[in-house]
Amino acid sequence: MGIGRQLLRALAAPLDRDDPASVDPTLVHELARPFRRWGELYHRLDVQGLEHLPEGPALIVGNHDSGTVFVEALCAGAHVVEAGHQVTGLAHDAVVDAPLLGRLLVRVGAVRAGHDSAAKAFAAGRKVVVFPGGNLEAFRAWPDRHRVVFGGRTGFVKLALRHRVDIVPWVFHGGHRSFVILRDGQRLSRAIGANRWLRSDTWPLWVGLPWGVALGPWPHLPLPVKVTCRFLEPVRVAHLGSEAAGDPEVVRQVYSEVVARMQEGLDALVRDRRNKHSMEP
């Protein structure tokens, strides 16, 4: 079956946006190569550290690096699929509920973010991907582009502890240069109630294509910037037991360790990039 017919069949079939069983494995493998190639051609995407991904279920925790258009994560995910791993991504309601895009993303492995959907994915032996910073991190202002910003959100730690899976940090660098965020607009978001009706902590003022200057968490056309991502060594928490999810001190310690490791990893990618540029003639 051609890719076009496969896409039409996948989009037309019934699905459950909360169930990872809605994934279409054939479509995933059909799309992996073109997504990988697109990332390599457009973003010169460099995916490092795949050897740190364990066999079986794990929680992959990434930094959100490119607004609402985070295509490089899908392109990098293609490398993960081609390495033989099954992956489920936890996505915002607005993404999975989108008429066509949402259906496609569910077919290739996304589900509505929630502990129940993640539990189903772990039970099926899949790896779960989450970006805890959400749009708070995705729209952080330009001076903060090299910071990991999770805003104290510890739900991912409790999720890993409850299901006794290790946490694999995943750091991205470069995508935040595809547009320029002047202000994150957190106060504006609260003033207009967007933190309630859209679950958006930010209402950013930014400069980028195709709008020029825009106000709000709208999609943008990313510039073809160089993007690098790196999987780091797992943070071992599976041995702590599910009861540790109810211990605030354990949760705080694991959260701090994950964020610290990711910040170190992001700092290393920034240094690598600067060193490479300093060596160029």
**Are 152 and 270 within one domain?**
yes
**Are 241 and 259 within one domain?**
yes
The pLDDT of residue 99 is 81
| Full-model pTM | 0.94
CA distance 138 to 18: 23
Mean pLDDT of the chain, nearest integer: 93
**Are 153 and 32 within one domain?**
yes
Give the count of domains, the chain.
Answer: 2
Asked if residue 4 has pLDDT above 80, the reply is no
State mean pLDDT over 103-128. 94
Asked if residue 222 has pLDDT above 80, the reply is yes
State mean pLDDT over 115-137. 95
**Are 197 and 272 within one domain?**
no
Q: Could you tell me if 220 and 211 are in contact, meaning their C-beta atoms sit under 8 angstroms apart?
A: yes
**Are 55 and 9 within one domain?**
yes
CA distance 153 to 134: 10
State mean pLDDT over 225-238. 97
- Give helix then strand counts, H and E, for the chain: 11, 10
Which band of pLDDT confidence, cut at 50, 70 and 90, is reported for residue 279? Answer: low
**Are 174 and 185 within one domain?**
no
**Are 241 and 148 within one domain?**
yes
Q: In the beta sheet, which residues pair with residue 168?
A: 60
Q: Could you tell me if 255 and 73 are in contact, meaning their C-beta atoms sit under 8 angstroms apart?
A: no
Which band of pLDDT confidence, cut at 50, 70 and 90, is reported for residue 139? Answer: very high
CA distance 210 to 216: 14
Per DSSP (E only), the strands in the chain are: 46-48, 59-62, 87-91, 110-112, 127-130, 167-173, 180-183, 205-208, 212-215, 228-231
Decide which of 221, 236, 251 is a domain's last residue.
Answer: 221
Tell me which residue range forms the domain holding 132: 3-178+224-279
The pLDDT of residue 1 is 57
**Are 248 and 204 within one domain?**
no
Asked if residue 11 has pLDDT above 80, the reply is no
Asked if residue 9 has pLDDT above 90, the reply is no
**Are 233 and 113 within one domain?**
yes
Q: Could you tell me if 65 and 144 are in contact, meaning their C-beta atoms sit under 8 angstroms apart?
A: no
